[in-house]
Amino acid sequence: MQDSHTKINQLSLHGHQTEIRVRGFHLDVYRHVNNARYLEFLEEARWHYFDEAGLTPLFTAAGCGMAVININISYRRSAGFGDDLLITTAFSRVQPRKVEVSQIITLKNTGQTVVQAQVAFVAFDQQSNKAVSFPAVIQQRFNALLQK
């Protein structure tokens, strides 16, 4: 069985990476990034990955979207003003009606883990607003990304 450190190293080698610099408006009264901001950082990184992987036009063409159904997030250390964060995102599980993405936020200059998260999504039809299976072309793309 792999420990979390091994999983982090493998994800950082194989995942998509997005960089974000912590700005003043990301900070709370305690002068560190507020926990809710990390959810925004993770979402920005997912969108960046999905755009670069060509998923966004596939969803648009299929008339479906993805809705987050579960986020499990662990906070490991704080980040502050001026920190450069590296967010690594990778598909970790693909099923016909649900996919999971693993994400890790690290301090770029030290590699220290700030946040680890597991995010689960389902597909929904934009007309009926009901959950559906992912269209075959999207499932194929997910599986190709999972293999990377």
Q: Which is catalytic among the residues 28, 51, 84, 125? A: 28
Provide the whole-model pTM: 0.87
Q: How far apart are CA 100 and CA 120, in angstroms?
A: 4
Which residues of the chain are under the pLDDT cut of 70? Answer: 1-13
What is the reported pLDDT for 66? 93
Q: Is 28 a catalytic residue?
A: yes
Question: What letter does residue 29 receive in the DSSP assignment?
Answer: T
Q: State the pLDDT at residue 1.
A: 41
Residues 124 and 116: beta-carbon distance below 8 Å: no
- Alpha helical stretches, state H, the chain: 4-14, 35-52, 55-62, 136-147
Is residue 93 a contact partner of residue 99, using CB atoms and an 8 Å limit?
A: yes
Residue 69 burial by Cβ neighbours in a 10 Å radius (0-12, 13-18, 19+): exposed
pLDDT at 146: 84
